[in-house]
Structure 1
Amino acid sequence: MKKSSALERAYSWVRERILDGTLPSGSYIDEATVCEATGVSRTPAREAFNRLEGERFITLIPRKGAQVRSISSSDLLDAFHARFMIESFTAAEFCDARRAVPEEMLTNLAIMDSVSDFATTEDTLIYINADRAFHAAFVQTLNNRPIFDFFESLWRNNSAAAINRGQMLRSETWLDNNQAQHRAIVAALTNHDRESVIATLRAHLK
């Protein structure tokens, strides 16, 4: 097994256990458990832990392994303010320049709309990844590398919030609202309706 594929296997296995609730907030997992479950060696397991800590899914604890992070209300509020700051600015610039909606946004909107069964972790990940790609394509319309790097860093550092979203996806009401908000964002961008985009983003991100 190549090192890269071993790393992805270990990373995906732990991330999926977190997203599906098998590893709840506050629980511990060690490298040996990952190695046994995935058949990888200690090195890719350790690298997977480092990657997950960088994305703030876990916290590495000396002699105990890794602990799944808990999400506080202040974490979520800080994430909202930072995301809204970036995306509301993007919306203003987009509408003022009367840009066209990127094809990647439409592609990922279609992916999100096509997912209807969240009984599996795979479906949850498909939705979350499409959600991220949708917003990333939007921010990329700024053609501003420092801002996009900040957005990417913010998304990685707040990936734990996706855990909550992954659990909420099992709610039909949440899903309907979330899909409707994404469509409303695209509609407002198409019409270059700055105020509507920003208002929808505020509700969507919060």
Structure 2
Amino acid sequence: MSKTYSSADHAYREVKERILTGVLPGGELISEGEVASDLGMSRTPVREAFLRLETEGWMRLYPKRGALVVPIPVAEAEHVAHARYVVEVAAVRAVAVRDRTALIAALRASLDRQRADAEAGDRERFALEDTDFHRTYVVAADNPLLAGFYDSLRERQRRMNSLALHRGATDMAAIIEQHAELADLIEAGDADGFATALVAHLSTVHRLSLSGL
């Protein structure tokens, strides 16, 4: 039994990672047999993984046809962006009245890693670093409720980042330039300027019209 559950957990992590990174794009129909063969296991743990992913909203199962990878709904992308805006701006307003030396050093280090990932053409590592860049100043606000809520968005945020990079809507150099601007505004303690720049950043990267922000 432990082997079955271990295999199911492995299948779950593998398939979910492929969804988050865009290897399995939204709208693609896959079968238990294909995944089982690829992972070198039986269909039973894959079926369990698919059921778990369906419960979480990543897949929609169709008996005898396969599993559909659920695309990111436009409304969900907008909701995630709006939620991020609220949390990130609140965090920056909090850190604006504190010593930001360590935070700015961490953001500059992240920018260096982003440049290295862009130079290497590693889009998946860049997408992760992108997500962590924004999380850095949220955590710096030292509000566990804000950080916890923000982390609940992490997987959807990562998937949106990967999608934006894969479709070529915004190149990594442009994203880095926008991140550098956000870091400069945080360093200056300019929360209002940060809020304006964040709306522009989220709108261009994710092709969204963020009305009301």
Under a length normalisation based on structure 2, what TM-score does the superposition of the two structures give?
A: 0.75
Tell me the C-alpha RMSD between the 2 structures: 3.1
Stretches of structure 1 that go unaligned for 5 or more consecutive residues are none
Match of 1:60 in 2: 60
Amino acid at match of 2:59: T
2:100 partner SS? coil
> What is the identity, as a one-letter code, of the residue corresponding to 1:30?
S
Q: Hey, what does 2:138 align to over in structure 1?
A: 139
Residue correspondences, number: 198
Quick one: which of 142, 164, 177 aligns to 1:180? 177
Aligned mate of 1:109, from 93, 108, 111: 111
Q: Return the index of the structure with the highest Cα Rg.
A: 2
Moved more, 46-55 or 184-193: 46-55
Answer whether contact 1:34 1:45 (CA < 8 A) is retained: yes
| Of 78-87 and 195-204, the range deviating more from structure 2 | 195-204
- What is the identity percentage for the equivalent residue pairs of Structure 1 and Structure 2? 25
Aligned-pair distance for 1:53?
5.0
Q: Structure 1, residues 107-132: CA drift from partner, whole Å, max 9, x if none?
A: 3222211123676xxx2210111111
Deviations 1:21-69 (A, max 9, x none): 5x4422211332111012134465356546655775x223152442112
Inter-partner Cα distance in structure 1 for 2:144 and 2:41: 36
How far residue 200 of structure 1 moved from its aligned partner, in angstroms, is 1.6
The residue matched to 2:86 in structure 1 has which SS?
helix
Runs of 4+ in 1 over 6 A off after TM superposition: 2-6
141 and 52 in structure 1: CA distance in 2 versus 1, 3 angstrom threshold: farther
Residues 1:183 and 1:50: Cα distance change in structure 2 (over 3 Å): farther
Q: Which residue of 1 aligns with 2:155?
A: 156
Structure 1 pair 115/158, CA: closer, same or farther in 2 (3 Å)? Answer: closer
Unaligned runs of 5+ in 2: 204-213
- 2:89 aligns with 88
SS at match of 2:68: strand
